[in-house]
Structure 1
Amino acid sequence: MGSMPDPLDTDGPAGGLTVGQVSARLDVTVRALHHWDEIGLARPSLRTSGGYRLYTAADLERLHRVVVYRELGLGLDRIRAVLDDGAADVSGALRAQRAQVAERIARLRRLGDGLDRMIEAHERGPLLTAEQQAEVFGPRWDPELTGGARAAYGDTPQWQQYAERSAGRGPEEWRAVTEAVTGFERALGEAMDAGVAPGSPEAGRLAARHRAVFGSAYFPLTRRMQVCLGRRFEAEPGFAAHYDAVRPGLAAWFRRVVDADARAHGIDPDTATWE
């Protein structure tokens, strides 16, 4: 709180100060002064012959205390009790307010930490060290894949959803995500080995399972978005190497599965866009 003028210095007309003068002196809005007058918290004791309110030295002393307690965070009802109840435990009221302030500070610090994590997740994806990423995602994991994904999709709502999820995940949560994704990739390889044909009902179920797993791990995935991912999986060396390490040719086969599923639902994979 800044320093305040002496509340007892009343040099206004007729030994009192007008609402405007008090407003300027105590840095309180005229509206607040009128409200406190209406509810009986701090009323001017005098009026001019024209009916204008005038605050005496005693009125200003009370107003000064109201302002101090309000800046400390006390509600108006609590302020009234402190000022009007001679038996009120002022120290107890202030201690209770101090405890509330401390809790508010702690909440703001937690909020600040959360915002820091969110910012970092938006900028780089999983909030894991290189060692943690290798442990969670496996030795074949290429951290540059996340950077490439951010370059491609960093301005999209989907990346924002991914970042928000990433901000709340530690190694154990990412390990669960990895297990779900790895289980799906293993099922893809087994389906390819079994000769599942793109466009077949079983292949369509695989495409649907991919959207479900991906959506749970990263962000909701439409069929058109899935087609765009399929292109990247086949065309980009990092993604292609990841899938082909599961089964040689898996990236290209999975793209055909996705494209066939899109066609079956009226989507031309050659013109599909990220939407």
Structure 2
Amino acid sequence: FAQSPYESSADFAKYAMKLREEAMLKVEPQVFVPTSSRTSTQRYPWKVNIVTTVFWIGEQPTANNPVPNTRSSWDASWTASYGGYDSPDPSGRKNYIPVSFIPRQNPFYVALPYNDVTHGQFKPEAALVIPWFKQQYTEPGKSVCKGRWLAVRKGNRVCYAQWEDCGPFRTDHFQYVFQNERPKPNLNRGAGLDVSPAVRDYLGLQSTDVTDWQFVEVRDVPAGPWRNYGDNNHFVIAQRQSQQRVVQETTDRQKKK
């Protein structure tokens, strides 16, 4: 059954306060507030002390990772879509991207052990357990999880990344991803989150580490290197659309002269 996003009276109280603040803002002068200082509604709880491993686009299978990462659960041509091999070797990386090419997708990506789609159709529980299912649904069998933003925390550093693959090991553990279960045992010490080399480098992670993570809304993603690249990146898309509007407006003005 679907869980309420407000699992406690404290959460609901926070939500009520936010509604009150928004109502007050409507009658007060609008003041620009930097994204980084805005308080999130905390709709999605933190998953804490999650064993976290590193994976990368183009990775070949190993004993502890039997599935190659040349394709993702949602993209059969993942390496090509990205633009190449996302080498984890620090000597082959600079500013969170490979030195050999500019990635065509966001280099800040993660995998979680759930896929909402199987054989081109939504799984029976998807509409019930995914909190944003109704808002994000566009067509039958098109994932509402792919591209979703997460915050990943290690110590006092927080990194933001997009959900672009399913794993480690499982693709069915909605009770962990959306509810309160812990990750299940597996070959990598019960890992429940895979992160890309960019996330690893930003947080200073070991190849196997422990982090916290939570889902976040696009509006709550602050400025950072995770906004810079990718045809799948909401911020890159918005910037391109803005530039196209400026070009179109300039063209229209010139035609009127």
Normalising by structure 2, we get a TM-score of: 0.20
Higher helix proportion, which one? 1
Instruction: Identify the structure with bigger relative contact order (alpha carbons < 8 Å, sequence gap 6+).
Output: 2
Greater C-alpha Rg: 1
Higher strand proportion, which one? 2
Normalising by structure 1, we get a TM-score of: 0.19
